[in-house]
Amino acid sequence: MTSPEEAIGQARERAGARRAEAGAQSDESGGLEASITAERPSLELLGEWSVIEVDSADIYSTRRGGAPVTAFKHLLLRLLGQYHRQVEARQTRFNIALLAHVRDLEARVAFLERQAEPSENEAGPAAGD
Protein backbone atom coordinates (compact mmCIF):
# COMPACT_ATOMS: atom_id res chain seq x y z
CA MET A 1 0.00 0.00 0.00
CA THR A 2 1.21 3.51 -0.75
CA SER A 3 0.93 5.63 2.37
CA PRO A 4 0.19 9.34 1.94
CA GLU A 5 3.73 10.10 3.07
CA GLU A 6 5.17 7.75 0.43
CA ALA A 7 2.83 9.21 -2.18
CA ILE A 8 4.16 12.68 -1.48
CA GLY A 9 7.75 11.44 -1.86
CA GLN A 10 6.92 9.61 -5.08
CA ALA A 11 5.14 12.63 -6.54
CA ARG A 12 8.08 14.89 -5.71
CA GLU A 13 10.51 12.49 -7.39
CA ARG A 14 8.42 11.94 -10.50
CA ALA A 15 7.74 15.65 -10.88
CA GLY A 16 11.46 16.35 -10.52
CA ALA A 17 12.33 13.78 -13.19
CA ARG A 18 9.67 15.11 -15.57
CA ARG A 19 10.88 18.64 -14.97
CA ALA A 20 14.48 17.68 -15.71
CA GLU A 21 13.35 16.00 -18.94
CA ALA A 22 11.40 19.03 -20.03
CA GLY A 23 14.26 21.40 -19.20
CA ALA A 24 13.81 25.15 -18.86
CA GLN A 25 10.49 25.10 -20.73
CA SER A 26 8.76 23.70 -17.66
CA ASP A 27 9.90 26.59 -15.49
CA GLU A 28 7.77 29.18 -17.19
CA SER A 29 5.68 31.03 -14.65
CA GLY A 30 2.75 33.28 -15.26
CA GLY A 31 -0.73 33.35 -13.86
CA LEU A 32 -1.37 35.70 -11.01
CA GLU A 33 2.10 35.84 -9.48
CA ALA A 34 2.94 39.17 -11.06
CA SER A 35 -0.36 40.71 -10.03
CA ILE A 36 0.18 40.06 -6.33
CA THR A 37 2.03 43.04 -4.99
CA ALA A 38 4.70 43.39 -2.37
CA GLU A 39 3.61 44.82 1.00
CA ARG A 40 4.73 48.25 -0.28
CA PRO A 41 4.01 48.85 -3.97
CA SER A 42 6.85 50.13 -6.13
CA LEU A 43 6.89 53.64 -7.59
CA GLU A 44 6.38 52.09 -11.02
CA LEU A 45 3.22 50.39 -9.82
CA LEU A 46 2.03 53.59 -8.15
CA GLY A 47 2.44 55.22 -11.55
CA GLU A 48 0.08 52.65 -13.06
CA TRP A 49 -2.43 53.12 -10.26
CA SER A 50 -2.33 56.90 -10.42
CA VAL A 51 -4.48 56.92 -13.55
CA ILE A 52 -8.06 56.41 -12.45
CA GLU A 53 -9.93 54.07 -14.74
CA VAL A 54 -12.99 52.18 -13.58
CA ASP A 55 -13.96 48.96 -15.30
CA SER A 56 -17.67 49.20 -15.94
CA ALA A 57 -17.85 45.39 -16.18
CA ASP A 58 -17.68 45.41 -12.38
CA ILE A 59 -20.83 47.50 -12.04
CA TYR A 60 -23.49 44.85 -11.58
CA SER A 61 -26.27 43.51 -9.40
CA THR A 62 -26.11 40.31 -7.35
CA ARG A 63 -29.89 40.07 -7.04
CA ARG A 64 -31.73 37.14 -8.57
CA GLY A 65 -32.93 38.31 -11.97
CA GLY A 66 -30.72 41.35 -11.50
CA ALA A 67 -30.05 41.90 -15.22
CA PRO A 68 -32.44 44.88 -15.46
CA VAL A 69 -30.80 46.42 -12.37
CA THR A 70 -27.38 45.96 -13.97
CA ALA A 71 -28.64 47.52 -17.19
CA PHE A 72 -30.09 50.47 -15.24
CA LYS A 73 -26.78 51.02 -13.42
CA HIS A 74 -24.95 51.06 -16.75
CA LEU A 75 -27.47 53.53 -18.13
CA LEU A 76 -26.90 55.80 -15.14
CA LEU A 77 -23.16 55.59 -15.70
CA ARG A 78 -23.60 56.64 -19.30
CA LEU A 79 -25.88 59.53 -18.36
CA LEU A 80 -23.43 60.73 -15.72
CA GLY A 81 -20.39 60.09 -17.93
CA GLN A 82 -19.44 63.78 -18.25
CA TYR A 83 -19.42 64.21 -14.49
CA HIS A 84 -17.45 61.02 -13.83
CA ARG A 85 -14.85 61.85 -16.46
CA GLN A 86 -14.23 65.18 -14.72
CA VAL A 87 -13.90 63.51 -11.32
CA GLU A 88 -11.54 60.89 -12.73
CA ALA A 89 -9.47 63.50 -14.56
CA ARG A 90 -9.10 65.72 -11.47
CA GLN A 91 -8.14 62.81 -9.25
CA THR A 92 -5.68 61.55 -11.87
CA ARG A 93 -4.16 65.06 -12.21
CA PHE A 94 -3.60 65.18 -8.45
CA ASN A 95 -2.15 61.64 -8.34
CA ILE A 96 0.28 62.25 -11.18
CA ALA A 97 1.45 65.59 -9.75
CA LEU A 98 1.92 64.05 -6.29
CA LEU A 99 3.79 61.10 -7.72
CA ALA A 100 6.12 63.44 -9.62
CA HIS A 101 6.94 65.15 -6.29
CA VAL A 102 7.59 61.79 -4.63
CA ARG A 103 9.92 60.79 -7.48
CA ASP A 104 11.80 64.11 -7.15
CA LEU A 105 12.13 63.62 -3.41
CA GLU A 106 13.38 60.06 -3.85
CA ALA A 107 15.97 61.28 -6.37
CA ARG A 108 17.08 64.05 -4.00
CA VAL A 109 17.35 61.68 -1.04
CA ALA A 110 19.39 59.25 -3.13
CA PHE A 111 21.67 62.10 -4.30
CA LEU A 112 22.18 63.41 -0.76
CA GLU A 113 22.89 59.91 0.56
CA ARG A 114 25.52 59.41 -2.14
CA GLN A 115 27.10 62.75 -1.24
CA ALA A 116 27.07 61.97 2.48
CA GLU A 117 28.82 58.61 2.17
CA PRO A 118 32.41 59.72 1.35
CA SER A 119 32.41 62.62 3.80
CA GLU A 120 31.38 60.28 6.64
CA ASN A 121 34.26 57.97 5.76
CA GLU A 122 36.67 60.84 5.74
CA ALA A 123 35.49 62.13 9.11
CA GLY A 124 35.53 58.72 10.80
CA PRO A 125 33.19 57.76 13.63
CA ALA A 126 31.90 60.71 15.64
CA ALA A 127 33.00 60.89 19.25
CA GLY A 128 30.36 59.85 21.77
CA ASP A 129 28.26 57.90 19.21
Partner 1 sequence: MTRVHQALSGVGPYDAVSNQAQAWRELLGRWGMAGEVYADAIDPRTADGVRPLGELDPDPGDLVVIRYSAYAPRLRPLLALEQRKLLVYHNVTPPRYFWNHHPGVAVACALGRDQLPRYVRAVDVAAADSRFNASELALAGAVAPRVVPILFETERLRRLGPEPEGDGPLVLVVGRLVPNKRHDLAIAAFAAYQRELAPDARLVVVGEPLSPSYRLLVERLARESGARSVSVLGGVAQPVLNSLYARADVLLSTSEHEGFCVPLLEAFHFGLPVVARPAGAMPEVGADAVLWSDDDHPGMPAELLDLAVRDGELREELARRGRRRLEDFSYDRTAERIRGAVDAALA
Mask 22-41, x = binds partner 1 (CB under 8 A)?
----xx--xxxx-xxxxx-x
CB of residue 22 vs partner 1: minimum separation in angstroms? 9
Report d(CA 128, CA 119) in Å as an integer. 18
Is residue 84 involved in binding partner 1 (CB under 8 A)?
no
The site that binds partner 1 (CB under 8 A) totals a number of residues, namely: 35
Is residue 9 involved in binding partner 1 (CB under 8 A)?
no
Three-state secondary structure call for residue 59: coil
Is residue 88 involved in binding partner 1 (CB under 8 A)?
no
Alpha carbons within 13 angstroms on the beta-carbon side of residue 61 total 12
Answer yes or no: are the C-beta atoms of 61 and 69 closer than 8 Å.
yes
| Interacting positions 44-73 with partner 1 (CB under 8 A) | 49, 55, 57-58, 60, 62-64
The string of DSSP codes covering 20-77 is HHHGGGGG---TTGGGSPPSS--HHHHHHHHS----GGG----STT-HHHHHHHHHHH
CB of residue 53 vs partner 1: minimum separation in angstroms? 11
Which residues would be at the binding site for partner 1 (CB under 8 A)? 1-5, 7-8, 10-12, 14-16, 18-19, 26-27, 30-33, 35-39, 41, 49, 55, 57-58, 60, 62-64
